[in-house]
Structure 1
Amino acid sequence: MNSQFNFRFSALLILLVATLVTACKKGDNVVPSPDLGAQVAGTYTYSELKTGGKTYPASDTNLKGTIKLTRQTATTVAIQLAIVHKATNETFADDAAEDVEVVESGIGNIELHYNGDTIAKIKGTKISIEGEDDAGTLFTLFATK
């Protein structure tokens, strides 16, 4: 009778320990959501222009400026685009928006959405913004953090 009691006690003890270990592991597996707003926030300096199927470094263009992203929440930023012509300081691209949604779009890729449209893409430390100039020519601006 004593051995039967020990067996039941041992089985109950093993079951209790297994339950406690499993319960503790659940809390450890919770991964907090990344703060994408903080991750992308910063000043990006104009670095390249892609147009007509060719990519030109900033030094080969007549443009200069920055794209500034300011964290508002973990999933939103404000954006300030300030790109001007080097020679005249005339505005080439000057725009701003708040409550721009920051969305992961794949491993290492982030998109900025505004009013349902993708307005910029970020990969690593490089942001790209597509646009169209006054003559209707499509271009992509790149800036690096």
Structure 2
Amino acid sequence: MKTVPTFSRMMLAFMLGILMFTSCKKDNDTTPSPMADLATRIAGQYTYSELSYGGKTRPADQTDMKGSIVVTRKTATTVNMVLDFRIKSSGEEFLVLSADDVQVTETGGEVSFMYQGSKVGILKANKLTINGEDDANVPFGISATK
């Protein structure tokens, strides 16, 4: 009876081991499934991307501001939000606040954010825009992207 040399058996075992480990797929996808509830799908950190003020829209890199919006799921239809926008050159607060129990609803691929009976924001694709008015009642919009 002919025997396979020890070295050949070890190489065969090694190759089978490599095949087994490399064929296993790791699931690193952290994207919520389409079946996840609305609050889960929109939760995350949004980074400041543009400012609309006085009828003009400027990208973030053309402003003296930095910031983010963090949206966390509370229930299937409510979220908590933390807004932290500051003046880059001075660190002074521009819009820093938190809001709990913000209602979210989706219509036609667009998500509306309602807080204390008022519509305060809208999410289209990955762009979240918060609308408000400054002390002189001039409307503004701060957009952030996920």
Do both share a fold (TM > 0.5)?
Answer: yes
- The answer to whether the Cα contact below 8 Å between 2:120 and 2:132 also exists between their aligned partners in 1 is no
Deviations 1:40-98 (A, max 9, x none): 10000010001122110000001100011000111110000000000011000011111
Structure 1 residue aligned with 2:105: 103
Counterpart CA distance in 2 for 1:51 and 1:74 is 33
Deviations 1:109-133 (A, max 9, x none): 0001111111110011000011122
Structure 1 residue aligned with 2:135: 134
> Which amino acid is the alignment partner of residue 55 of structure 2?
G
- Identity among equivalent positions (%) equals 46
| Residue 108 of structure 1, CA deviation | 1.1
TM-score using structure 1 length: 0.73
Counterpart CA distance in 2 for 1:111 and 1:120 is 6
| Residue 33 of structure 1, CA deviation | 7.4
Structure 2 residue aligned with 1:144: 145
Counterpart CA distance in 2 for 1:114 and 1:130 is 12
1:71 maps to which of 65, 68, 73? 73
> Which amino acid is the alignment partner of residue 57 of structure 2?
T
Structure 1 residue aligned with 2:122: 121
Distance 1:141 1:52, change over 3 A: same
RMSD (Å) for aligned C-alpha atoms: 1.5
Counterpart CA distance in 2 for 1:45 and 1:116 is 26
**Any idea what SS the aligned residue of 1:134 has?**
coil
**Any idea what SS the aligned residue of 1:136 has?**
coil
Larger radius of gyration: 1
Question: Can you give the 5+ residue segments of structure 2 that lack an aligned partner in the other structure?
Answer: 1-33
Structure 1 residue aligned with 2:96: 94
Equivalences, count: 113
